[in-house]
Structure 1
Amino acid sequence: MVHQLDRAQARRIAVRAQLLAAPRPTDLLTVVRQLTLVQIDPTAAVAPSADLVCWSRLGSSYRPEHLRQALEEDRTLFEHKAMVRPMDDLGLFLAAMAQWPDHERHREWLRANESFRRDVLDLLGRTGPLLSRDIPDTCAAPWPSSGWTNNRNVTQMLEFLVLRGEIAVAGRQGRQRRWDVAERVYPAGVPVVPLEQARRLRDERRLRALGIARERATAVPGEPAEVGDAGEPAVIEGVPGVWRVDPEALGQPFAGRTALLSPFDRLVHDRVRLADLFEYEYVLEMYKPKASRRWGYFALPILHDDRLVGKVDATADRRRGTLTVHAVHEDVPFTPAVTGAVRDELHDLASWLSLAVEGLR
C-alpha cells in the first residue's frame, strides 16, 4: 500500500514528529529520545544550538544545566560525533565502533602509533577526564593533512579512539571536550546490536523522528537524511518521487503553534526536503560576507502551525543585556495573529536568556 498525502498532511507529520506541535513536551529525555539526536555547534549568536533546539520544544522550563546534568551526571544522554543522543541508543553504535576504522590510511596511522594510543589510554585510565591540552603528544608518526588537522596528533588520536569506542566524551569545560575511558562514561553490559540490524533500527528511529523522509536522499554532513526501507511508502501530491512515512504518524490530530528554530534544527536541516515539503528557502549565512547576507548571520526560521513563514535576524548581546532584533523577514505577509505570536516568542526567548528585547517593532 502506498499512502497518498498532500503537502499539508506531510508537513504536519513532520512537525509533530519533531515535537513542534501543541502541546509542548515537558521532559528533556523524552525530547531527545524522540528526536534521536540534538546537534552540538559552538555558534552562540543567540544561544548554543543544542540549547535552542531544546528550548524550542520545552519552552522556558528548559535550562542549559538540565542538558549538562543529563550528559555528565545522570548519564541518560551521551555525546558522540558532535551529537547528543539518548544513552538507550548506545547499543546501536557499538558494532560500528568495534569495526572502525574502515579506511586503510586510518589503520596505518593507528598501527604506526600503537604506543601513542596506549599512552593516551593509560593516562586517561589513571587521571581522566582530561582536556586534549593536558595529554602529551608521544606520536611516532605525525598525522599528515593539507587541512587544519595537520600534525594535530593528540586531537586526531582522541577522535579515532572515540570512534573506536575506547574513550568517550565525559563532559565539557566551556566549549572544550573532557575525555575519559569509555567504561567510566558508558554503562556496563550494554548489548551490542549486530551491525546490519543496528542500521535498520537506526533508520527506523530516524524515520520516527522525521515522520516522513526520502528512502534515498542527498548526502548531508553528519547524520544521514535518508531512511532506507523503514516505514511504509508514500507519495506527496505535487512532489515527485516516493517517500517513506512512519505509519504510526498517519491520521494523528494536529494542533499547531509558533516556534523559533535553530538553523541546525532537524526540521530544517535537510534543505532539499525543506523545499519539497515546506516550499521554504533557507541558507545559513554566517559563512557569507555581511554584504551578501539576505536574512542575517544566524537567522532563526519561524514556524507557525505547519508552515515556515519567515526568519528572525537577532543577536544576544550579553554585555549589554539585550536580545537585539535586527529584522523579522516575512516570507509571506504576516497576519496580525502571526505577528503577535512571533513577538510573544521573541519575548519568551529574551526572558529565557535573561535579556531585554531591543529593536522589535
Structure 2
Amino acid sequence: MASSEIRTITLEEARRIAVRAQWLEADSLEREAGDLPEVVEQLTLLPLNPTDIVAPSAEQIAHTRIPSLVHDDVRRAVEVEQTLFEHLGPHRHPMEAWAIGLRAMTDLPWLVAIGRDPSSIHSSASEWLDANGGFHARVLMQLREEGPLPQADIDDAADVPFRSSGWNTDRNVAMMLELLQIRGEVVVAERHGTARVWDLAARVLPPVEPARLDDAWRTWRERWLRSCGISRATHLGDVGEPVRVEGVRGEWRLDPGATAEGFAGRVALLSPLDRLLADRKRMVQLWGFEYALEQYTPAAKRRWGAFALPILDGDRLVGKVDAKSDRDAGALRVHRIHWDVEPDARLLRAADDEIARLAAFLSLRPAMP
C-alpha cells in the first residue's frame, strides 16, 4: 500500500481502541472470576512484580479487569486449577517488564515452540548454558529426584560462573533455572511469597504438540497487536493494518478487528506495569501522560510516589494515586492524588470508589489524606 493510501485515524480513536483492547471498558464491571483465563489470553500475560507496595502487579491488573475477583483467585488459577502458568518469555520481548508473567495454559503450544527456538536466548547466555552442560544435567536430576524444590535448595554446582554487567553475576542457580524455563524444561510450580518453587515442566504442564516455529512467532506478533489494539510497528513485521494517527509522527499498526465504535469508558486505577501504559513512548504519544515508576527512585526525588497508580477516565489518563498498603494497620493509605486535570464531582466520586474497591480487594480499609 502506498504511503498516500494509508488510512489516518484520530487520536481519540487510537486511545479508545487501545483501552478496548485492554478490556478496560465499562463492561469489565460485569466479568466474573471464571473469566480470568480468557482475560489473560487477551492481555497475553499478567506481568509478575510481586512487590507489595500497593499490590502485586498480576493480582492488581487482573482485578482491574474483573472487579469481583478475590485476591487468591489468581494464585489458585496457577496452582490449583492450572488454567494459568508462570512463564518467562524470549529475550526479544519488546518490554522487559513484560517478559515474565502468568500466561493462559491454552497458549502453551506456541509458547513451547518459541522457547525451543535458539534465538529466544541471548547468544552470551546460550554460550554460558553450553559451557555448563554438567550443571544443566545436575539441576534436572535434582529436580527429578527431589522436586518440587525451592530455589534456595537447588545446589549451585556451576562448571562456569555466570558473569554479567549487572546484578546477575554469580547468580548461577537462578540463571540456569530461568534459561531452562525459557526453553520449557522447568517451570515455577508455586510461589511462597516472592520465593519460587521449581519442578520439571513435564510434571506440571500438560503435554502439548508444539506449533510450527513460523506459526508460533506470527501468533506471538498477532497476539501482541491484538492486546494493544494499536502499536508502533517496531517488532510486528507485516502484522496488522498500517495506519497513521492524527497529530502523531510515524506509521502504526492496527489490529484488524479493532474499532472505537460504541466505546463506553469507565474510571479505573491502573498498575504501574499495566499494559495500557507499559510502552512509555506510546503512552506519551497517545495520551501525553507524564509518568514513571519510582519504586527504585530515592524518596527525596520522587514526584508521584513509589508505586503511584495511574487513573484512567474513559480514554484519558488523568492523574496518579500515591498509595501504600499498610498491612499492620489494615489500611490502604492514600498519601495524595496528583491530578493532571481539574476533576469534577463525578470523577472525584469515581476515583474514591475505585480506591475503596482496591482496598476491599486487598482486605484493607481506605485511609484518605
Q: Name the TM-score, length of structure 2 as normaliser.
A: 0.90
Residue 274 of structure 1 and its aligned partner are, at CA, apart by 0.6
Q: Map Cα deviations across residues 99-154 of structure 1 (whole Å, 9 max, x no partner).
A: 33655543443333222221111111122111111111222222234533222222
The aligned counterpart of 1:221 is none
Residues 330 and 108 (structure 1 numbering): CA distance in 2 closer, same or farther, change over 3 Å? closer
The aligned counterpart of 1:44 is 52
1:103 and 1:357 map into 2 onto residues whose CA distance is: 45
Contact 1:130/1:180 (8 A) holds in 2: yes
The aligned counterpart of 2:258 is 249
2:317 and 2:164 map into 1 onto residues whose CA distance is: 41
1:291 and 1:144 map into 2 onto residues whose CA distance is: 33
1:145 and 1:3 map into 2 onto residues whose CA distance is: 45
Residue 251 of structure 1 and its aligned partner are, at CA, apart by 4.9
Q: Does 1:281 align with 2:290?
A: yes
Residues 313 and 116 (structure 1 numbering): CA distance in 2 closer, same or farther, change over 3 Å? same
Query: Alignment partner for residue 133 of structure 1, among 152, 159, 162?
Result: 152
2:137 and 2:263 map into 1 onto residues whose CA distance is: 54
Question: Higher mean Cα deviation, 242-251 or 300-309?
Answer: 242-251
What one-letter code is carried by the residue in structure 2 that aligns with 1:317?
Answer: D
Q: CA RMSD in A?
A: 1.7
2:130 and 2:247 map into 1 onto residues whose CA distance is: 53
Contact 1:212/1:243 (8 A) holds in 2: yes
Structure 1, unaligned stretches of length 5 or more?
217-225
Q: What SS does the corresponding residue of 2:63 show, helix, strand or coil?
A: helix
The aligned counterpart of 2:343 is 334
2:12 and 2:218 map into 1 onto residues whose CA distance is: 28
What one-letter code is carried by the residue in structure 2 that aligns with 1:80?
Answer: H
1:287 and 1:28 map into 2 onto residues whose CA distance is: 30
Q: Map Cα deviations across residues 155-187 of structure 1 (whole Å, 9 max, x no partner).
A: 222122112221111111111111111111221
Q: Map Cα deviations across residues 224-249 of structure 1 (whole Å, 9 max, x no partner).
A: xx433222121111111111111212
What one-letter code is carried by the residue in structure 1 that aligns with 2:310?
Answer: P
Contact 1:259/1:302 (8 A) holds in 2: yes
Contact 2:63/2:69 (8 A) holds in 1: yes
Instruction: Work out the percentage of aligned pairs sharing the same amino acid.
Output: 48
Residues 100 and 185 (structure 1 numbering): CA distance in 2 closer, same or farther, change over 3 Å? farther
Q: What SS does the corresponding residue of 2:250 show, helix, strand or coil?
A: strand
Q: Map Cα deviations across residues 278-318 of structure 1 (whole Å, 9 max, x no partner).
A: 11111111222222111111110000111000000011101
Alignment of 1:210-229 (within 5 A): 210-216=228-234, 226-229=235-238
Q: Name the TM-score, length of structure 1 as normaliser.
A: 0.92
Residues 288 and 122 (structure 1 numbering): CA distance in 2 closer, same or farther, change over 3 Å? same
The aligned counterpart of 2:222 is 204
Question: Higher mean Cα deviation, 43-52 or 101-110?
Answer: 101-110
Q: What SS does the corresponding residue of 1:248 show, helix, strand or coil?
A: coil
The aligned counterpart of 1:313 is 322
What one-letter code is carried by the residue in structure 2 that aligns with 1:288?
Answer: T
The aligned counterpart of 2:205 is 186
Q: Does 1:239 align with 2:248?
A: yes
What one-letter code is carried by the residue in structure 2 that aligns with 1:65?
Answer: D
The aligned counterpart of 2:73 is 66
Q: What SS does the corresponding residue of 1:141 show, helix, strand or coil?
A: coil
The aligned counterpart of 1:76 is 83
Q: Map Cα deviations across residues 327-356 of structure 1 (whole Å, 9 max, x no partner).
A: 111101111111111011111111222212
Q: Does 1:113 align with 2:122?
A: no
Residues 252 and 65 (structure 1 numbering): CA distance in 2 closer, same or farther, change over 3 Å? same
1:334 and 1:104 map into 2 onto residues whose CA distance is: 51
2:123 and 2:240 map into 1 onto residues whose CA distance is: 35
